[in-house]
Amino acid sequence: MPPPAKMLTNSLRDSFGRTHNYLRISLTEKCNLRFVVSSALLSNLRSALFYSMLCTYCMPAAGVPDLTPSSKLLTGQEILQLASVFVKQLGVQKIRLTGGEPTIRKDLLQIVEGLNALKPYGLKSIGITTNGLALKSKLQPLKNAGLDQINISLDTLDPPMFELLTRRRGHQSVLDTIHASLETGFSAVKVNTVVMNGVNDHEVPAFVEMTRNNNLYVRFIEYMPFSGNQWSSRKFVPYKTLLGNIQDRYPDRNVVKCTDDANDTSKSYRVMGGSGAEEEAFIGKFGFITSMSEHFCGTCSRVRLLADGNLKVCLFGDAEVNLKDVLRNSTGADVAAIEEEVIQVIREAVMRKKEKHAGMDKLAGMKNRPMVLIGG
């Protein structure tokens, strides 16, 4: 029998003893890779594979028809107020900003500055996950504001394939942003690559090569089912298959397992030196996020605050509670009373978190938001 929520203090724990100290905040539902497919175009598409590649891992091919009205999204002030509660009163130590595409939010810099003010209260790192298209000119200002870590999503190293996947140009811009991020001196720069069989799985060794001379962490993400993303088992590639292919690519080198932190979502590896004196170990490392083939629910430390104010305690769960409504409906109450109500709602939601998510075949048929409305 789990302890009542009111007994839990200074940390956010669920009924299975997991401590949740990592908050992901979605700043917007919009994306600068947004692509709406007209019915005429859909009727003319000849290839099912082509249809499945229209930037639909995060967003359904036809787009999201009903985005939340701006008046019902969290304001910058509300984001910072909720973040303050999570850090000061619930023990959150890590915050990551997501989207949609977070760099299109006009008050991004101010939000980062506000989060940075929470570091004396226990916040240890501020990160962002982005497609990188609009990031390069913002790198130094964001670092000055307190941003520590950058994750850049890139699913191909082939420019024509990039245009096919995203429906726009900008491949070189993303690569330039990756290198500029490294030069700017962030504490961690990662590349996230969703691997799909028959689409980009053949590019995995080329992504690993990016770690040869760069202090970069490339993470290969197993293809996961979300609403409208055309998931199927035929496009799924388990991480062990990818690891085997990488080991075959470097027969004269050791591909070694690195040490991961207790709550890491990825399994990390490094290509070590070969027999020749000139063959030094790769500077960076690569890894796998194995949500489907080997889930890591037992060490999950994450909760997600969505752009519309909903709190989502599991990426694959459909249970949500709205924190924005608690803030806005408590008119006349003092700040302390409002925040106490917010804390109670958060604790109760986390206490209802399940032990683990369903298997991938079952997940494919379950109700959930598109990834663009969750933020990863």
Q: What tens-digit pLDDT sequence spans the chain (376 residues)?
A: 343 334 334 789 999 999 999 999 999 988 887 543 334 433 443 344 444 444 555 655 555 557 788 999 999 999 999 999 999 999 999 999 998 899 999 999 999 999 999 999 999 999 999 999 999 999 999 999 999 999 999 999 999 999 888 878 899 999 999 999 999 999 999 999 999 888 899 999 999 999 999 999 999 998 866 555 465 667 889 999 999 999 999 998 999 999 999 888 899 999 998 765 567 899 999 999 987 787 768 889 999 999 999 999 987 667 789 999 999 987 667 889 999 999 999 999 999 998 865 555 555 455 655 555 555 5
Cα atoms in the Cβ-side hemisphere of radius 13 Å centred on 361: 2
Rounded to whole angstroms, the maximal C-alpha distance in the chain is 73
CB 37 within 8 A of CB 13: no
Return the SS3 of 19: strand
DSSP three-state, residue 296: coil
Q: Starting from the edge strand earliest in sequence, which strands make up the sheet with 94-98, in order?
A: 255-257, 266-271, 285-289, 217-222, 188-195, 149-153, 125-130, 94-98, 22-26, 302-305, 310-312, 320-322
- CATH class for the domain made up of 22-30+54-373: alpha beta
- Locate 322 and state its tokens: 């709205």
Alpha carbons 256 and 106: distance in angstroms, whole number: 43
Entry pTM:
0.86
Residue 100 makes CB contacts below 8 A (sequence gap 6+) with 26, 27, 28, 29, 30, 31, 307, 372, 373, 375
CA 57/CA 52 separation, integer angstroms: 9
Q: Is 230 left (phi over 0), alpha (psi -120 to 50) or beta?
A: left
- Measuring CA to CA, how many Å separate 108 from each of 23, 71, 146? 17, 18, 12
Q: Cis (ω within 30 of 0) for the bond into 100?
A: yes
